[in-house]
Amino acid sequence: MERWFLNASTLCFLVGFAYTMFALGAGVARPSRWNFLVMLTGFICQTEYLHQRGQAVGRCPVTNLFEVLVFLSWSVVLLYFVVGGTYRLSLLGTFTAPFVFLIQTLAQLLPSASLPAVQKVSAGFWAELHAAVSLMAYGAFALACVAGVMFLVQERLLKRRQTGGVFQNLPPIATLAAATQRVMLAGFVLFTLGLIGGFFAGSARDAIKMMAVSVWLPYGLVLTLRWTHRYSSRRFAWLSVAAFIVALTSLGALSFFHLNK
């Protein structure tokens, strides 16, 4: 039954994805209540899936790469709702649906997706908190990446004077630059809290700690450069994308280490 909820949520994001493609193609991409409803339904299904999965494994369901990616996509959608009305009214939601659909589909294609849920020993409060908060930070980084891509699209259209179609429906570049910065900062704070939790848990290997720091440092550097106005909004948007690729690579590596622990 738990898998039914996961499939239903993936289907919801697929519908959101299809809508985005259609809207972009037709040049009528605009926020709609319908799109919001699809996202909300997908989120409810995701939550129920993670709840049931958590009960089945007897701990926070982040025990393999499949679960990690599902938890990550859940975090992205959660943050999309939490970030607030301003961004929900923008096309952030429209761009979030395809992103979440791709992550969740990738998760379901992994070999670990077909493994049955097995009751596991709890890793302890701090370790589970560390994992959950860190993944939520990844969700924020993903959302910052989405906002950064939207900035780059809108900026390119402005420079090239292509002011029809999707340009009309994308938010102002100043709003997108501010959103990217704010969401990345939220992710950075969460990641820092996750790191502290990880050190309290004390079970992590040095390699894992190194990898966590390898995500924390680039984001810290990018944000510092941004605050000191060393980087333009365009470079900052590119960095939000690049940093997320680094973070995703590190997430894959972290999962590998966890599995081999």
Q: Does 238 bind another protein (CB under 8 A)?
A: no
Helix intervals (H) in the chain = 2-26, 33-57, 65-82, 85-89, 92-109, 125-159, 166-169, 173-201, 206-227, 233-259
Determine phi and psi for 164, rounding to 5 degrees. Answer: -95, -175
Residue 215's nearest CA partner among 241, 181, 249 is: 249
Exposed, middle or buried, 160 (CB in 10 Å: 0-12/13-18/19+)? exposed
**Segment contacting another protein (CB under 8 A): 62-70, 168-176, 211-219, 239-247?**
168-176
- Contact by Cβ (8 Å): 76, 99: yes
**Segment contacting another protein (CB under 8 A): 47-55, 171-179, 190-198, 207-215?**
171-179
Paired tokens of 114? 């077909």
Closest distance to another protein from the beta carbon of 19 (Å): 18
Q: Using CB under 8 A, which residues numbered 119 to 158 contact another protein?
A: 154, 158
Token pair 């690049």 is at which residue? 242
Q: Does 85 bind another protein (CB under 8 A)?
A: no
In the bound state with another protein, the residue whose beta carbon lies nearer, of 136 and 176, is: 176
Exactly one of 168, 203, 224, 249 binds another protein (CB under 8 A); that residue is 168
Q: Does 90 bind another protein (CB under 8 A)?
A: no
Q: Does 235 bind another protein (CB under 8 A)?
A: yes
In the bound state with another protein, the residue whose beta carbon lies nearer, of 167 and 200, is: 167
Exactly one of 114, 119, 163, 260 binds another protein (CB under 8 A); that residue is 163
| Contact pattern for another protein over residues 175 through 214, marking x by CB under 8 A | x---------------------------------------
In this structure, the number of other CB atoms found within 10 A of the CB of residue 156 comes to 12
Three-state DSSP at 194 gives helix
Q: Which residues bind another protein (CB under 8 A)?
A: 154, 158-159, 161, 163-164, 167-168, 170-175, 229, 231-235
